[in-house]
């Protein structure tokens, strides 16, 4: 199926979700995601809807499937990391974002997402350790060196 052929299902899913018919919206979004796994927006919308319904396991699985289709998508990484953090899985959440920075060490967005996430944990030691570890692993990355230096500031 061509992605454009899926557009009516996407619109129907959004309308169902807006009308409070979450189960039906989820069913529509699952069909779209199965037909077009690389569709970033559908994966994120489905994961968000599942999370709002309280299906955290389903939301995590949806994010993971979307990342399998597009392993470099920073918004997917951040969404999954935020959900993992909410479930108390901070170490896995941080490592997921670290992996994104390692994959794209010159992309400011990946660095900013990791740093903002680390700041939100209010764990200064974790932030410093994470950036120092990355700085040691990728000393040629000016972006990583800058974030590591900023993390040392009070």
Model-wide pTM > 0.75: yes
pLDDT of residue 96: 96
Dihedral sign of CA atoms 94, 95, 100, 101 in order: positive
CA 66/CA 34 separation, integer angstroms = 10
Q: What percent of the chain is modeled with pLDDT above 90?
A: 80
List the chain residues with pLDDT less than 50.
Answer: 1
Rounded to the nearest integer, the mean pLDDT of the chain is: 92
């Amino acid at each position: 199926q061509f992605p454009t052929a899926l557009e009516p299902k996407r619109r129907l899913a959004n309308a169902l979700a807006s009308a409070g018919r979450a189960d039906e919206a989820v069913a529509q979004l699952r069909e779209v995601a199965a037909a077009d796994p690389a569709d970033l927006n559908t994966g994120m919308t489905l994961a968000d809807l599942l999370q709002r319904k309280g299906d955290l396991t389903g939301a995590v699985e949806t994010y993971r499937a979307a990342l399998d289709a597009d392993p470099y998508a920073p918004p997917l990484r951040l969404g999954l990391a935020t959900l993992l953090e909410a479930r108390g899985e901070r170490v896995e959440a941080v490592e997921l974002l670290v992996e994104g920075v390692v994959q794209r060490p010159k992309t400011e967005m990946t660095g900013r997402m990791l740093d903002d996430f680390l700041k939100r944990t209010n764990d200064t030691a974790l932030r410093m350790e994470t950036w120092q570890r990355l700085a040691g692993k990728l000393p040629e990355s000016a972006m990583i060196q800058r974030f590591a230096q900023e993390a040392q500031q009070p």
